[in-house]
Amino acid sequence: MWYTVCMTRTRDTRHFPIIVEQDEAGFFVATNPALPGCYSQGRTMNEALANVREATEASLAEQDASDVAVPNISVHVIAL
């Protein structure tokens, strides 16, 4: 299971792509591929998204936010 959005910027708001996967233990792991090492988890998808939002804010606070490049991310679904 996954969820993703594209990174965009509207005035003072930035939108980052977030990938959410459910692990073997049932936890949801949320990753922000725009910021290396920025990930979190939660018992629910909403909890994982809230946690990765906090991790993203912390990552941006540690670096110059203007240095964060827009990632080239493409999501594809294949049928087998």
User: Does residue 72 lie within any of the structural domains?
Assistant: no
Q: Which of 72, 45, 63, 53 is nearest to 14 (CA)?
A: 53
CA distances, 78 to each of 11, 19, 50 (Å): 35, 17, 29
User: Does residue 2 lie within any of the structural domains?
Assistant: no
Q: Which domain holds residue 47?
A: 8-67
Convert the pLDDT of each residue in 26-74 to its tens digit.
999 999 988 889 999 999 999 999 999 999 999 988 877 666 665 666 7
User: Does residue 18 lie within any of the structural domains?
Assistant: yes
Looking at residue 65, its pLDDT comes to 62
User: Does residue 61 lie within any of the structural domains?
Assistant: yes
Beta bridge partners of 19: 31
User: Does residue 63 lie within any of the structural domains?
Assistant: yes
Convert the pLDDT of each residue in 43-54 to its tens digit.
999 999 999 999
User: Does residue 41 lie within any of the structural domains?
Assistant: yes
Looking at residue 55, its pLDDT comes to 96
Looking at residue 40, its pLDDT comes to 97
Structurally, the chain folds into a number of domains equal to 1
Looking at residue 48, its pLDDT comes to 97
CATH code for the domain of 19: 3.30.160.250
